[in-house]
């Protein structure tokens, strides 16, 4: 039975458009079709009315809900469909249809999660997100991007298995698959398991290392899409079912400060922006943990603003990479004469993220800080304010100074290639910049979309004065420490070092003691010729432990990442199959005996 009325899921529009794209000819007609598809999806989202439940399908014993529309899902669906238009315009110069197909399926998966009314539909669309977005990394076609893509896929496969385990345990305990608010005051085991699954996608430490590695290695257009959807979809899921989970407050403050530290140390501009994503997500996670109406409004508003200004920043840095082939600060500098418009767009995004008056971050970030002070969580308010100072340091000072001003470290060849990007990339950045300023200047546009009635006013003398004091203090510190802001090619170790070492230890265990046992099984088989032992030996040898061990050794020597970082795609596939099977088996045993 289907109960959908006249409602059309926006994901259907994007998926059908992606499937039809290879059949469309070339030239202006194809460009028009590429722009039309996300515009139709945006119109479909924009005209949602009235709120309610749509697209209910009876499947076996369950009712699957594909369209749960309320103010919370509306605001996320609105900004994600808007960002899809901007990202698509930015990608118009791409000749490879596969990137656009992967991007549209990725956005379709994200919108599917946003509108899902039950955990089965959520799981379906979250897997579509994971398996489509990895191609946005692989399509860069460099050895490191291939390796990073396999690691990304392995991490999100793990997250998906954890989510599935939580959903199954909840269904066993309650008989309910509805994607609704969980009891966070008396949490059951499945509540924590579901939280961990969502934390993987939200890049909460120590499950975060995939984020800077992946976004820095994605294709130019792929990174623009990836920075906007995966983590913000995870924020939506946390708001939907874990609002008020107090442990998230601690994780949020840690994220905000942790990301700032690594962004300040970073040499690659896109890795810097990826670390800043983690820092800004910390504000949202903290808002979810506080759980009050003001905090939830702040998390939603900041997610809305963050999608736009972070997309703008990735488009700006992607333009530099596209035109010069360089993304490291040690290879750039002095580009302000060659790329003046790109500089302007980057500065709009930077000022928005630094939360200066009349820019979007000013009217969103302060809501979460104010919610912390309202609940007498002074350490939260001061911690997030400290993170704001660090944000201004790396995004308004370090990023533009080392890339566009200061000493020219770029080679003559790089400077000759440098210029503002094609018109479509500039148009996309102009649209993003417009919304960053519009949201910051006309607050009712965003505030009226928030899930709860809003009484917060960002433009008070106290808030403006406080912001300018933070900016002035940070600017003074930058001047005094300007010699320390010079770029360095050093690599900063992250928490993934621990599970990379643990991975190497595991594969040593598999290679030495277990391989010895395997060899003895082979000897016994050759002596007595038992059929069952042959089967066991063949099955064990199928995993090719030596190849997998070589993969880990290779990653330890030259590639940053966890045990899943691979040197060859075949090795990565074997490792992925093993880990997925092992984790799935453990979760199955936990379910049977729980």
For the entire predicted model, the pTM comes to: 0.84
- Give the pLDDT confidence score for residue 1 in this predicted structure: 36
Give the angle 406-412-413 at the CA atoms, nearest 5°: 125
User: Is the model's pLDDT at 241 over the cut of 80?
Assistant: yes
| Total number of residues shown for the chain | 594
Q: Is the Cβ–Cβ distance between 518 and 542 less than 8 Å?
A: no
User: Is the model's pLDDT at 573 over the cut of 60?
Assistant: no
**Can you give the C-alpha Rg of the chain in angstroms?**
24
pLDDT of 512-556, one tens digit each? Answer: 777 777 777 666 656 655 555 555 555 545 444 444 344 333 333
Mean pLDDT over 51-59 rounds to 85
Instruction: Give, as one character, the DSSP assignment of residue 448.
Output: T
Peptide bond preceding 206: is omega within 30 degrees of 0, i.e. cis?
yes
User: Is the model's pLDDT at 566 over the cut of 50?
Assistant: no
Q: Is the Cβ–Cβ distance between 66 and 7 less than 8 Å?
A: no
Task: Give bridge partners of residue 59 from the DSSP assignment.
Answer: 62
Q: Is the Cβ–Cβ distance between 251 and 203 less than 8 Å?
A: no
- Give the percent of the chain with pLDDT over 90: 55
User: Is the model's pLDDT at 207 over the cut of 90?
Assistant: no
Q: Is the Cβ–Cβ distance between 238 and 191 less than 8 Å?
A: no
pLDDT of 131-145, one tens digit each? Answer: 999 999 999 988 889
Q: Is the Cβ–Cβ distance between 272 and 212 less than 8 Å?
A: no
Picking from 233, 230, 189, 146, the residue whose alpha carbon sits closest to that of residue 561 is: 146
Picking from 157, 155, 161, 237, the residue whose alpha carbon sits closest to that of residue 193 is: 161
Q: Where are the alpha helices (DSSP H) in 325-398?
A: 340-353, 360-374, 378-391
Residue corresponding to tokens 């900041």? 302
pLDDT of 34-47, one tens digit each? Answer: 999 999 999 999 88
């Amino acid at each position: 039975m289907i109960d959908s009325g006249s409602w059309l899921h926006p994901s259907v529009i994007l998926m059908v458009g992606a499937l039809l794209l290879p059949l469309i000819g070339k030239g202006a007609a194809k460009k028009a079709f590429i722009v039309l598809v996300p515009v139709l999806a945006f119109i479909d989202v924009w005209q949602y009315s009235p709120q309610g439940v749509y697209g209910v399908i009876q499947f076996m014993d369950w009712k699957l809900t594909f369209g749960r529309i309320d103010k919370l899902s509306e605001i996320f669906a609105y900004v994600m469909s808007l960002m899809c238009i901007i990202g698509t315009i930015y990608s118009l110069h791409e000749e490879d249809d596969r990137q656009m197909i992967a991007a549209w399926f990725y956005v379709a998966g994200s919108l599917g999660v946003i509108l899902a009314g039950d955990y089965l539909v959520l799981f379906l669309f979250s897997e579509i997100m994971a398996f489509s977005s990895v191609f946005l990394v692989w399509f860069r076609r460099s050895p490191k991007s291939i390796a990073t893509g396999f690691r990304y896929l392995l991490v999100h496969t793990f997250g998906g298995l954890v989510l599935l385990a939580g959903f199954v345990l909840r269904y066993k305990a309650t008989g309910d698959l509805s994607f609704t608010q969980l009891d966070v005051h008396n949490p059951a085991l499945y509540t924590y398991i579901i939280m961990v699954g969502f934390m993987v996608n939200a890049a909460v430490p120590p499950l975060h290392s995939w984020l800077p590695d992946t976004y820095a290695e994605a294709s130019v257009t792929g990174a623009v899409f990836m920075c906007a959807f995966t983590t913000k979809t995870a924020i939506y899921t946390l708001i939907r079912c874990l609002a008020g989970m107090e442990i998230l407050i601690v994780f949020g403050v840690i994220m905000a400060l942790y990301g700032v530290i690594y962004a300040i140390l970073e040499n690659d501009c896109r890795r810097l922006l990826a670390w800043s994503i983690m820092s800004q997500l910390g504000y949202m996670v903290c808002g979810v943990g506080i759980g009050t109406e003001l905090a939830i409004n702040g998390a939603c508003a900041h997610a809305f603003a963050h999608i736009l200004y972070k997309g703008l920043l990735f488009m700006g840095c992607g333009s530099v990479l596209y035109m010069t082939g360089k993304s490291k600060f040690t290879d750039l500098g002095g580009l302000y004469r060659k790329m003046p418009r790109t500089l302007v767009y980057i500065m709009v995004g930077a000022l928005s993220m630094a939360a200066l008056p009349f820019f979007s971050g000013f009217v969103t970030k302060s809501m979460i800080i104010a919610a912390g002070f309202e609940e007498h969580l002074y350490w939260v308010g001061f911690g997030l304010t400290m993170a704001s100072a660090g944000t201004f340091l790396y995004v308004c000072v370090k990023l533009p100074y080392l890339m566009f001003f200061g000493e020219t470290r770029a080679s003559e060849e790089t400077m000759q290639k440098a210029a503002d990007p094609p018109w479509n990339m500039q148009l996309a950045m102009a649209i993003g910049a417009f919304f960053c300023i519009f949201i910051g200047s006309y607050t009712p546009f965003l505030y009226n979309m928030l899930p709860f009635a809003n009484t917060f006013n960002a433009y008070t003398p106290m808030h403006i004065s406080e912001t300018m004091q933070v900016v002035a203090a940070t600017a003074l510190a930058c001047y005094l420490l300007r010699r320390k802001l010079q770029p360095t090619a050093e690599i900063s170790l992250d928490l993934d070092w621990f599970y990379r070492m643990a991975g190497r230890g595991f594969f040593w265990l598999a290679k030495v003691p277990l391989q010895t046992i395997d060899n003895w099984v082979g000897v016994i088989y050759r002596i007595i010729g038992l059929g069952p032992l042959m089967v066991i030996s063949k099955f064990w040898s199928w995993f090719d432990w030596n190849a997998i061990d070589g993969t880990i050794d290779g990653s330890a020597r030259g590639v940053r990442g966890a045990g899943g970082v691979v040197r060859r795609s075949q090795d990565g596939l074997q490792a992925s199959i093993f880990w997925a099977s092992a984790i799935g088996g453990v979760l199955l045993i936990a379910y049977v005996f729980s």
